[in-house]
């Protein structure tokens, strides 16, 4: 998860995180992050398969900003509370991009 200019979060997945960060930071890759430079890596996780990484990316894109901030902090009680909340919340971003 990247923190972008304006406080926006970008969620994606990659087989090579370091390469992908260089691409994002240099502006080589057009798209959401390119349009919101600079970017800072604020959360990452390793998954056994690309399919699992993509599933997590899609799940996170649906999370509220508050839930993403709790994830960044590692605040599992807040994530659990927000997940069980009856309130509907909008995702903090709606980017449908699933680039590598």
Which tens digits make up the pLDDT trace of 25-61? Answer: 998 888 998 999 999 999 999 999 999 999 999 999 9
DSSP 41: E
Residue 92 within any structural domain of the chain: no
Candidates 3, 95, 81, 67; CA nearest to 40 is 3
> How many domains does the chain fold into?
1
What residue numbers bound the domain in which 49 lies? 2-63
94 domain-assigned: no
Residue 38 within any structural domain of the chain: yes
Mean pLDDT of the chain: 88
For residue 11, being part of any structural domain is answered with yes
pTM of the predicted structure, to 2 decimals: 0.81
What pLDDT band is residue 95 in, cutting at 50, 70 and 90? very low
Residue 19 lies in a domain: yes
The pLDDT score that the predictor gives to residue 85 is 78
- Quote the CA–CA distance of 26 and 23 in Å, as a whole number: 5
User: Is residue 21 in a domain?
Assistant: yes
pLDDT-based confidence at residue 89 (cuts at 50, 70, 90): low
């Amino acid at each position: 998860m990247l923190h972008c200019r304006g406080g926006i979060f970008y969620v994606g997945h990659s087989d090579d995180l370091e390469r992908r960060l260089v691409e994002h930071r240099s502006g080589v890759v057009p798209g959401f992050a390119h349009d919101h430079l600079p970017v800072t890596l604020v959360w990452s996780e390793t998954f056994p398969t690309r399919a699992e990484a993509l599933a997590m990316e899609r799940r996170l894109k649906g999370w509220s900003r508050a839930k993403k901030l709790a994830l960044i902090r590692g605040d599992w009680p807040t994530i659990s509370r927000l997940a069980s909340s009856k309130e509907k919340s909008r995702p903090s971003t709606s980017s449908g991009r699933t680039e590598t």
